Amino acid sequence: MRECYRNILLKTAHSGCLATVEDRLERTDLEKGQIIVEPGRSMRWVYFVETGLISVISHPAKHQDIELGVIGREGMTGEAVALDDDRSPFTYRVQIAGCALRIEAGRLREAMVLSRPLHLFLLRFARAQHIQLCSTAAVNKRGTINQRLARWILMTYDRIDGDRLHVTHDTFARLIAASRASVTKALHHLEGMSLIHSMRNTIIVRNAKGLQVLAGSAYGLAESEYARLIGTDFRRHRMRYGSGDVPELFLSEHSPGDLS
C-alpha cells in the first residue's frame, strides 16, 4: 500500500504505524487559496500532502503576510496534534493546488494512542518542521535578499515536480519580508548568474545547485535535519519534466479574516 502514496511520511512510516490510520484516510483536493488551518481555531482535519504546496503564514500586522514555512509532499499540516494541541497561531494556506490524504484530528489522536511508534514518528516530523520555521526566522533576520530569495525558490522547487512556478514580484516581496524593488533587483541578479530564467510571473529554475551555493548557510539545515529525523531526503523524491503544467502560487491581498 505504501507504494501508492506520494506523501513521504506515509511512504516512509513503518507498516505497523500505518495500520492504525490507513482505513481512516480519505483523498481530497487542495484548492489554490484554500485555508487549511485558521489561527486560533481548533483543527478538524490533518492533511498529508501528496501534491501541491501549503504555506505556514504569520500575520505580524493587519494585511501583512510573512511566510514562516512550507509543507509539500514531505509533510503534514497537523503537527500540533502530535504535540497534544489542537490549534496553531498561524494560517495554513494552499499556495499551489494539489491533493492530499486527510484524517480527522480526533481519529489521528486515537491512532497515536493505539500506536506509540506512530506517535513518535509524527513527533519527529513536528521537530523537523519546528527547525524549518526557526531557520526561516533566522534567515529573514540575518540573510541577504539574494540568500532569502534563493532559499525560497529552492524550498518551493524541492516540493514540486518540474522546474517552473508562477509567482509575481509582489508575492515574493510579501513572503520573504522584502520590498518589491529589492526583489526585482535580486531576481535580475539571479538571472544574470544563469540560476533562473525570469519571465512575466514565471520563474524557471535553471541551476538548483548554483542556487544552493548562493543561498549558503541560509539553506540546507532544515532539509538535512528532516533527512536525519525521518530517514529519507525528500528532495530525492521529486520528478523532473519539461514544459508541462506550471504550478501557480496564490497570495491573498487580504488577511485571513477578510477572505470570502
> Which of the two residues, 44 and 238, has the higher pLDDT score?
44
Q: According to DSSP H, which parts of the chain are helical?
A: 8-12, 15-18, 79-82, 105-114, 116-142, 145-158, 169-175, 180-192, 208-215, 221-230
**Which position has the grid cell 484516510?**
25
Question: Per-residue b/e over 153-189, b at no fewer than 16 CB within 10 Å?
Answer: bbbbbbbbbbbbbbbebebbbbbbbbeeebbeebbeb
State the pLDDT confidence band at 246, using cuts at 50, 70 and 90.
Answer: very low
Cell of 106: 480526533
With CA atoms as reference, report the closest residue to 121 among 232, 222, 221, 30: 232
Start-to-end CA span in the chain (Å): 38
Query: Which pLDDT score, from 0 to 100, does residue 253 have?
Result: 35
Dump pLDDT digits (tens) for 83-121.
Answer: 999 999 999 999 889 999 999 999 999 999 999 999 999
In the predicted structure, residue 209 carries a pLDDT above the cut 90: yes
> Which of the two residues, 176 and 193, has the higher pLDDT score?
193
Q: How far is Cα 251 from Cα 256, in angstroms, rounded to an integer?
A: 11
Domains and CATH numbers, the chain: 2-139+254-258 (2.60.120.10), 144-223 (1.10.10.10)
Query: Which pLDDT score, from 0 to 100, does residue 258 have?
Result: 30
Dump pLDDT digits (tens) for 24-82.
Answer: 999 999 999 999 999 999 999 999 999 999 999 988 766 677 889 999 999 999 999 99
Cell of 149: 530569495
> Which of the two residues, 248 and 132, has the higher pLDDT score?
132
Average pLDDT over residues 151-160: 93
Compute CA distances 92 → 32, 69, 122, 255, whole Å.
12, 10, 18, 12
Query: Residue 19 burial (CB < 10 Å; 0-12/13-18/19+)?
Result: middle
